[in-house]
Structure 1
Amino acid sequence: MKYLRIFFLLLVFQTGIAQVRNEYKISFDNAAHHEALIEATFTNLESGTISLRMSRTSPGRYALHEFSKNVYDVKITDGKGKSVMVTRPNPHQWDVSGHDGTILLSYRLFADRADGTYSQVNDSYALLNIPATFMYIPTLKERPVQLTVVVKPGHNWKISTQLIPLGGNSYLAPNLQYFMDSPILTGNHIVKEFKVPSRGTEYTIKLALQHQGTEEEADQYFEQIKKIVEQEKAVFGDFPNFDYGEYTFLACYMPISSRDGMEHRNSTVLTSTKSLAEGGMKGNIGTVSHEFFHAWNVERIRPQSLEPFDFEKANMSGELWFAEGFTSYYTNLILCRAGILTQEEYINSLNKTYNYVWNSPGRNFFNPIEMSQQAPLVDAATSVDPVNRSNTFISYYSYGSMLGLALDLSLRSHKEGLNLDDYMKLLWAKYGKNETPYTTENLLFTLREYAGESFADNFFKSYIYNSHAPDFKKLLATVAIYLKTDVKTPYFGARITFDKNDFATIADYTRIGTPAYDARLEKGDIILSINNATFSTPEQFDEVLKKHKPGKRITVTYRRLGEERKTILRLATNPTVTLTPYSKPSEKALLQRENWLKAK
């Protein structure tokens, strides 16, 4: 997103020139019951009908969320407090006519979910995501927005946000897009900061931390953040131009939070139930790494399909395999380079994602671009009907992460001196610094420029426009890692759980290509026996299976909808692989691994 009026607006405020603004006030007198009171004044309106709306989605989230469901006690008058005509053409819109050029608005908001999308209000703190909180007038999208946050006397609540401070708990956004992109944490939280040099200036990096821990824990956590900041800057070569000289991590690590992270232009929301003392020191830091990387990749190296973000409909993009997926690839890689993960821990962290992606049947149906386009259906989206996603969908976060790994190792083995970091630097120079939105074709053309036409065309044709699997055995060998397989343990191909009656039940929809799927077994089937051998515990089930070798046919007796049935199932070898470092690597491969994983 571009905010070309920012410096003009700052000049206006400094010189005192009056400018029409949309003004909001939020207060928390009923915070104990998760309620906020929002008041707004819209002036200098054109005659005729004015539409007030609640957003249906939120920047960085691609599905619909219908925030109007948490709004009530709506009161709308003209500037003199007189009644106006209000109609509701749909659940998220209030059409106002009969006003006098001014609309006064007030309403109550119920807010009790702390994450990167919704808002949470209680008598200890408030985490506010703007689209989930404030009504707006779409036709006034270019107006500055002024917000005043009213805190209870004696509470000593701080306010942390990327909005421009005006003094007196009032803040400014240059326009609607920036306002909607600017979350707020207010409460008695800890604030830490440090300075980073960039292109002859200095930026301030802040941590606003709402938690139930100690100052010492906050200090330790902030030291990790500093290392992440420096290693991510090394990938791109410099920092983004943070609009007002600051970037803020808004961290809410409270037991009533939900685990999430959400990037914004000059800040990010980080939420988790884990306290720093109880696993959060290491368990929460990956989200920090992921979201700060977005300050470059997605906030400024931005897909054309998401520019500008539309608050009234689902936002679909075919580039999320890169925007989210490559960011996911760097998430743990940065932790390794920063010394927060050891090299062994990093390599081990690849296992889950590797097996999830390359053993998924979803690649038979959609390539990475098409997987990305499903984001409005899966990104915190809700539905009540069962879906077959275990067979048809692979998360673009995970898929893109594996493609990032494949491209990085492919570049490093293709030609000395090539690597994914420098490809990202080139994208930053071409599309990020000047904030020119890109397309998938732009990613291809830039890779041609960086690594050659043949290399780039082959990678995109095979792995982006199609769903082939890279030769990871060969690629990982270049960094002294091999794929270890288990050829002895038989594979049934379904997750079995035991209920309170000791019945072995298939827990999930069976996956295409597994022995259970080919034997026409399905979710909810109760497995009674295997070759007449029965079992009543997971251990007994495994013991029965281990008596048979992979490749052997077994008779499975099962019950479906009260009817006893039999089927023949052919056991397979377990498709799960383990990425394992060589015990005696060559000096060349060890050097390649070191160059890949060491601090920059």
Structure 2
Amino acid sequence: MKKLLALSIVAACSTSAFADVNYELKISEPQHHLGNVSVEFPKSAQSHIDVKLPAWRTGRYEILNLANGVRYFNAKDEDGKELTWEKVDHSTWRVHLNKPTEVNVDYQVYANELGKRARHIDDSHAFIDASGFFMFSESFRQEPVTVNLDIPKKWRSVSGMDNLESKNSFKAANYDVLVDSPIETGINQLHTFEVDDREYDLVVWGDGNYDVDLMLTDLKKLVATGNVIWDGYPYERYVFMVHATSGAGGATEHLNSTIIQRPRDRFGSREDYLGFISTAAHEFIHTWNVKAYRPQGLVPYDYTNMNYSKLLWIAEGSTSYFEDHLLVRSGIQTTDEFFKVMSKTINRHLQTPGREVQSASETSFDKWINQGGDHARNYSTNIYSEGSLLSLALDIDLLEKSQGKISYRDVHKALYNNHKMPAGFTDVDVLNILKDLTGRDYSSWWQENVESPASINFDELLAKVGLKYERPEKAKALASIDATAKNTGELLTLSYVRRGGSAWEAGLTTNDKIVAINKHHVGKDLKTSLETFKAGEKVTVDYIRRDALDSLTLVLSEDFDKPKKVVANKDATLEQKALFKAWIGVEHPADVKKD
């Protein structure tokens, strides 16, 4: 009993209950991308504490090695005396304690990686994702957190976290909330609005050809669509952070905020603006799908190692699928614009040989190690497009078999209602939801489409909702070698050779330099050089590989100057039109009167 009592006392002393972990970030040399961080950890009676910086950040399933920007690490006890420490792995500093004491850690962070959306400091702003700045200890991971910023006077700070006394100080329930609540501070625009008694901020850093009034108008429409899928909202306040910049693009979801990066001149045209608002819709949906509920392999987050899951196609791909639904239902996007996006997704899928090799389950698990380039396209898929198209196939199947009464939205509503964080959901949970909704066993469908490479007949699938997938009437047939090339000076260099295509079968590969076809010099554009040929012709290709000239023969394949596209079937039946409306929420285009 005495031994147990002693252990209990040590455990109680090792982490003081409800003691705050206090962070301070001082930015005195922003032009050099430097920040100085101080962390105060509560009193600990352990022999040592391990202080870590995450190796990746939430929303990006890739090891980023964020600790490589840390220098001048130092640790002191509560009396200001130096503590000994050692670095024990790529992102862990072990601080040794001689007695029970608070631990104060200081270090410098180099923050010049804007595109990774983890850390960036310059003379106009700082984007602060805790994973790139603030170290943590597992011993105090669940303790309350405070953050104080010491920044230039003219800077303004915005975050999804609540403020303390100052607008430059914040509080969070624990480190997990902190790491999922980035801060944008600097010279920025701030616009606030309210929809259905929930508060929203739009903070924009950088100049660009954006229209803030249009952004605000459409964001108000977008955030009102949550009840299209889910019962309730998981937040009372939400922050849209926008970077209008150069050299960076992309977006990341967070607990009750998002960061969206776009080139500063990519907001003006309708196509560019749709790219922005679609991204906003994607990240908004993530507030439920990933932040309110997510696959078991990501619960809880392990910030220093890979977090494996076979269901990332649901986390990301289903999010991509739903974004267009919300945009169409809210009136932000037209059905024609929706069809254009769907056409691109389907065409990209069908032109990716990797769809025959890797399943959605496999590509989800391998997201952490997926590589780019031609090998990835020839032998892999991705969680976004593959997951989006699987969501489409499952959605239409559910709608058809229930005469429009049950949809894939109901699956996500059930995930939100029954599998909220901190519990993670599994494939068994999804299959159980499908069975509860329909009374049918979807195990065979899952095996054929999720665990195995999916084979979707888009003609049959889209016909069920009154759509066609067809080649435009005026499309012209072209000769092709099933490869793409980039101009590298006087020669064209193959940048991608499609597996199973004519160039592949003949023996050409990426980085081969094409010199001539049938002894005629290839110009600056491969398509132009093939205009005089027809599909089925056998040609001789001269090329350079390893600085040596060689030649081979290949049979040209057929391509078209215009890709296939999704269009409304003007002769759709009443049943198909009804299913279309149940699917996307608006009337079938054949029933819409045009002005």
TM-score range, shorter chain: 0.7 to 0.9
Structure 2 residue matching 1:318: 3-state secondary structure = coil
Structure 2 residue matching 1:252: 3-state secondary structure = strand
Task: After superposition, give the CA deviation of every residue in 1:261-319 in whole Å (9 maximum; x if it has no partner).
Answer: 11112222222223576456433212110001011111122111100000111122110
How far off its partner does 1:595 sit? 4.2
Q: State which of 494, 501, 504 in structure 2 corresponds to 1:506.
A: 494
How far off its partner does 1:115 sit? 4.5
Partner of 1:429: 417
- The 5-angstrom pairing of residues 558-569 of structure 1 reads 558-569=543-554
* Aligned equivalents of 2:353, 2:267: Cα separation in 1: 40
Task: After superposition, give the CA deviation of every residue in 1:101-158 in whole Å (9 maximum; x if it has no partner).
Answer: 12222221111233564211123221100010011222211211111122333x1x33
- The 5-angstrom pairing of residues 464-475 of structure 1 reads 464-475=450-461
Partner of 2:593: none
Partner of 1:12: none
How far off its partner does 1:21 sit? 1.1
Partner of 2:205: 210
* Aligned equivalents of 1:329, 1:148: Cα separation in 2: 39
Identical pairs, percent: 25
How far off its partner does 1:533 sit? 3.9
* Aligned equivalents of 2:486, 2:162: Cα separation in 1: 54
Partner of 2:181: 182
Partner of 1:230: 224
Contact 1:61 1:117 in 2 (8 A): no
Contact 1:116 1:261 in 2 (8 A): no
545-554 or 168-177: bigger deviation:
545-554
Q: State which of 459, 462, 465 in structure 1 corresponds to 2:445.
A: 459
Are residue 339 (structure 1) and residue 327 (structure 2) matched? no
- The 5-angstrom pairing of residues 27-426 of structure 1 reads 27-100=26-99, 101-115=101-115, 117-153=117-153, 155=154, 157-168=155-166, 169-197=168-196, 202-212=197-207, 217-240=211-234, 242=235, 245-255=236-246, 258-274=248-264, 278-279=268-269, 281-378=273-370, 388-417=375-404, 418-426=406-414
Structure 2 residue matching 1:224: 3-state secondary structure = helix
Shift of the 73–460 alpha-carbon distance from structure 1 to 2, 3 Å rule, reads same
Task: After superposition, give the CA deviation of every residue in 1:447-491 in whole Å (9 maximum; x if it has no partner).
Answer: 22223425x234312211211312210111233332224683223
Task: After superposition, give the CA deviation of every residue in 1:5-50 in whole Å (9 maximum; x if it has no partner).
Answer: xxxxxxxxxxxx9942111111211112111111122231114122
Q: State which of 533, 553, 556 in structure 1 corresponds to 2:538.
A: 553
How far off its partner does 1:524 sit? 2.2
Shift of the 533–599 alpha-carbon distance from structure 1 to 2, 3 Å rule, reads same
Contact 2:299 2:423 in 1 (8 A): no
The count of aligned residue pairs is: 562
Are residue 490 (structure 1) and residue 479 (structure 2) matched? yes
Structure 1 residue matching 2:51: 3-state secondary structure = strand
Structure 2 residue matching 1:441: 3-state secondary structure = helix
* Aligned equivalents of 1:59, 1:192: Cα separation in 2: 26
Contact 1:306 1:316 in 2 (8 A): yes
Structure 2 residue matching 1:309: 3-state secondary structure = coil
Structure 2 residue matching 1:191: 3-state secondary structure = strand
Partner of 1:517: 504
Structure 1 residue matching 2:428: 3-state secondary structure = helix
440-449 or 417-426: bigger deviation:
417-426
Partner of 1:5: none
Are residue 479 (structure 1) and residue 465 (structure 2) matched? yes
Letter in 2 for 1:109: V
Shift of the 400–277 alpha-carbon distance from structure 1 to 2, 3 Å rule, reads closer
Contact 2:53 2:67 in 1 (8 A): yes
* Aligned equivalents of 1:534, 1:152: Cα separation in 2: 59
127-136 or 406-415: bigger deviation:
406-415
TM-score (norm: length of structure 1) = 0.87
Partner of 2:514: 527
Shift of the 140–286 alpha-carbon distance from structure 1 to 2, 3 Å rule, reads same
Letter in 1 for 2:401: H
Contact 1:63 1:315 in 2 (8 A): no
* Aligned equivalents of 2:137, 2:339: Cα separation in 1: 50
Letter in 2 for 1:388: H
Shift of the 582–44 alpha-carbon distance from structure 1 to 2, 3 Å rule, reads closer
Structure 2 residue matching 1:449: 3-state secondary structure = helix
98-107 or 462-471: bigger deviation:
98-107
Structure 2 residue matching 1:489: 3-state secondary structure = strand
* Aligned equivalents of 1:352, 1:298: Cα separation in 2: 25
Shift of the 489–590 alpha-carbon distance from structure 1 to 2, 3 Å rule, reads farther
* Aligned equivalents of 2:136, 2:204: Cα separation in 1: 29
Structure 1 residue matching 2:369: 3-state secondary structure = helix
Partner of 2:555: 570
* Aligned equivalents of 2:458, 2:569: Cα separation in 1: 18
How far off its partner does 1:372 sit? 0.6
How far off its partner does 1:507 sit? 2.2
Contact 2:396 2:461 in 1 (8 A): yes
Contact 1:338 1:599 in 2 (8 A): no
* Aligned equivalents of 2:58, 2:524: Cα separation in 1: 47
* Aligned equivalents of 2:478, 2:364: Cα separation in 1: 35
590-599 or 169-178: bigger deviation:
590-599
Contact 2:411 2:430 in 1 (8 A): no
Letter in 2 for 1:150: D
Letter in 1 for 2:245: M
How far off its partner does 1:401 sit? 0.9
Structure 2 residue matching 1:574: 3-state secondary structure = strand
Letter in 2 for 1:424: H
Contact 1:391 1:512 in 2 (8 A): yes
Task: After superposition, give the CA deviation of every residue in 1:538-580 in whole Å (9 maximum; x if it has no partner).
Answer: 2xx5455344433343333333234333323222233884123
Partner of 2:11: none
* Aligned equivalents of 1:597, 1:518: Cα separation in 2: 42
Contact 1:408 1:420 in 2 (8 A): yes
Shift of the 273–530 alpha-carbon distance from structure 1 to 2, 3 Å rule, reads closer
* Aligned equivalents of 1:537, 1:166: Cα separation in 2: 60
TM-score (norm: length of structure 2) = 0.87
* Aligned equivalents of 1:544, 1:176: Cα separation in 2: 58
Q: Which runs of 5+ in 1 are unaligned?
A: 1-16
Letter in 2 for 1:414: K
Partner of 1:13: none
* Aligned equivalents of 2:431, 2:33: Cα separation in 1: 48
How far off its partner does 1:435 sit? 5.4
* Aligned equivalents of 1:565, 1:487: Cα separation in 2: 32
Letter in 2 for 1:506: L
* Aligned equivalents of 2:527, 2:521: Cα separation in 1: 11
